[in-house]
Amino acid sequence: MKNKLLNLTIVLLGILLAVLMVFTISELYDTGRVYRYKAEDLLRFVREQDYGNMLHCVYMNEAGEVYASEDMKECYAVAHYYEAATFYKAYAQCGKSEEAAKQKKVMEEQKALMGTLTYTAEEIDRKLGLEN
Amino acid sequence: MKCQSCGSELHIEDERCPYCGNANPHYKKHRLEMKKYQKDYEAVRRNVYTKAGIFTKRNAKITVIAVLALLNVVMLILYVNAWDIYYFWEQQAVKRNAAVHREALAEMEAQGDYFALVAYYDEHNLYYGSGSALDEYWNVCAVSRGYYEVYKGLTELTEENTYTSMEKRIQYICENFESMYRYSEQKEYDRPECFRREHVEAMEDMKEHVKYLLITYGNITEEEAECFEQLSNAQKQLALERGVGGYEE
């Protein structure tokens, strides 16, 4: 009888230890987890034309040195094109021609990297009123 | 002992007398007693061995239970303090790589990559580096964070948004303005290294860019943009609402 009680106690403590280990490791993992934006996430931003949020996600990925597939690199180019276009418009409207020219150059560089997403450059220009 | 028949020497273990051949009357009794002693001996030996074995196994099980209980307590403490453990671990990692991070932040600040700066700060959890060489970037990062939110809010101000009303969006922009201006002003409790020349220049640069964004996307006048910092929160909101109204017209 005493033997059975001891054996049962050992089994229960062992199971409890295993459960606690799983919870603890999971808790430590969740605490430190940083979300990495994948190509699907970025393409969704492109589809929804949510370039503002996309820009921050791209910067987070770049800061984390996340490996970028070809699709992701094209999305990065879209985000940087948008950023340059917004500042180009602001500089041009405020008469800062030198800064505007720099941003225009960045826009052209990023457009060249857009690959299959080159059509978004026109969408962004239209959105910002830069068609002309 | 002697044989009862012939009187010759007889051992108790002899079944018969070796001289006359007569049966030894004590042999049977001796044999029976020896068997009984043998049985008793075996029983006692088994008993001793069994008891000793049970005692050793029980001790081992109790030891295992004690160890498991201790491990459970340790694991529970780790679970409850997971955040503190992670915080300590990250803090040490940030301090170990403080020189590398400082170089990266300095480069981004010099190039005016303020959005990249705040993303780098967040990505590497540099706010855990309190007390390290990274403290001097705290204000620049806080202003950069506000700057990004203002940039995003202004560039998207006139877009259709079914989730958030225009009023709420303008309010959010103005709150981030306040945050930018608050962290760009040196107070007596601020660390002096946070307001070194290059950091002040970066923060002024961001505030200058905000003016361009206000004029372009907030549709406010240049004069209003110049004194925007001095306006109250309510006045800022009114100015932007007027600007947005101008867009809609």
Q: Which residues of A touch B86 (CB under 8 A)?
A: 28, 31-32
Are the beta carbons of B64 and A23 separated by less than 8 Å? no
Q: Which of B120, B155, B216 sits opposite A63 (nearest CB)?
A: B120
The complex scores an ipTM of 0.84
Would you state the pLDDT for residue B147?
96
Both tokens of B126, joined, read: 């540099």
Alpha-carbon span A18 to A16, nearest angstrom = 5
> B interface mutation test: which of A1, A23, A31 has the most B CBs within 10 A?
A31
Which among A13, A27, A89 has the least Cβ separation from residue B72?
A: A13
Q: Among all chains, which residue has been given the structure tokens 């490996």?
A: A67
pLDDT tens for each residue of B195-216: 999 999 999 999 999 999 999 9
Helix (H) / strand (E) containing B100: helix B98-111
Mean pLDDT by 10 residues, chain A (132 residues): 85 93 85 79 91 92 89 94 96 93 95 93 91 67
A chain contacts of residue B124, beta-carbon cutoff 8 Å: 63
Kindly report, residue by residue over B81-102, the tens digit of the pLDDT.
888 888 888 888 888 888 899 9
Q: Are residues A74 and A98 in the same domain?
A: yes
Contact, B93 vs B100, CB < 8 A? no
Same-domain pairing of A13 and A62 = no
Contact A83, A110 (CB under 8 A): no
* Cα–Cα distance, B32 to B28 (Å, whole number): 6
List the single residue in B61, B71, B115 with the smallest CB-CB distance to A6. B61
Per-residue pLDDT of chain B (249 residues; tens, 9 = 90+): 888 888 888 888 888 888 888 888 888 888 889 999 999 998 888 888 777 765 677 788 889 999 999 999 999 998 898 888 888 888 888 888 888 999 999 999 999 999 999 999 888 888 876 767 788 899 999 999 999 999 999 998 877 776 788 888 899 999 999 999 999 998 888 888 899 999 999 999 999 999 999 999 998 988 989 999 888 888 899 998 888 876 554
- Do A6 and A28 fall into the same domain? yes
- Residue B210 has a pLDDT of 94
Residue B190 per-residue DSSP state: S
Residue B152 phi/psi, 5-degree rounding, is -65, -45
Determine the Cα–Cα distance for residues B70 and A14; give it in Å rounded to an integer.
11
**Look-up: residue for tokens 């070194």?**
B196
Nearest residue of A to residue B80 by CA position?
A24
pLDDT at B53: 66
Inspect the interface and report whether the beta carbons of A9 and B65 lie closer than 8 Å.
yes
Contact (CB, 8 A) for A45 and A53: yes
Q: How far is CA A112 from CA A11, A43, A118, B197, in A?
A: 64, 18, 8, 37
Mark whether A14 and A44 lie in a shared domain: no
- Same-domain pairing of A118 and A93: yes
Q: Which pTM value belongs to this model? A: 0.76
DSSP conformation class of B115: H
Cα separation of A55 and A38, whole Å? 13
Taking CA atoms, what residue in B is nearest to A89? B216
CA distance readout (Å), B54 to B43, B49, B50, B88: 16, 9, 6, 47
Instruction: Report pLDDT for B17.
Output: 85
3-class state of residue A69 by DSSP: coil
Q: Tell me, yes or no, whether A23 and A62 share the same domain.
A: no
CA angle A59, A65, A67 (to 5 degrees): 105
Q: What is the pLDDT of residue B54?
A: 59
Flag if B123 and A2 touch (Cβ within 8 Å): no
Per the CB < 8 A criterion, the answer to whether B240 and B171 are in contact is no
CB A46 within 8 A of CB A54: yes
Among residues A118, A124, A123, the alpha carbon closest in space to that of A103 is found at A124
> Domain range spanning residue A116?
39-128
Total domains in chain A come to 2
Residue B164, φ and ψ in degrees, nearest 5: -130, 135
Residues A86 and A121 in one domain: yes
* Option in B86, B116, B152 nearest A63 (CB): B116
pLDDT in tens, A9-30: 999 999 999 999 998 888 877 7
Bridge partners, B9 (sequence order): B2
Q: What are phi and psi of B84, to 5 degrees?
A: -65, -40
Interface of B with A in 136-165 (CB under 8 A): 148, 151-152, 155-156, 159
Question: How far, in Å, CA of A86 to CA of B115, rounded?
Answer: 14
Q: How far apart are CA A123 and CA A47, in angstroms?
A: 11
Question: Would you say how long chain B is, in residues?
Answer: 249
Residues in chain A with CB shorter than 8 Å from the CB of B85 are: 28
List the one residue out of A45, A8, A1 whose CA is nearest residue B156: A45
List the one residue out of B53, B244, B70 whose CA is nearest residue B166: B244
DSSP code of residue A35: -
Nearest to B116 among A17, A59, A93 (CB): A59
Say whether both A29 and A60 belong to one domain. Answer: no
Query: Would you list the DSSP string of B191-202?
Result: -GGGG-HHHHHH
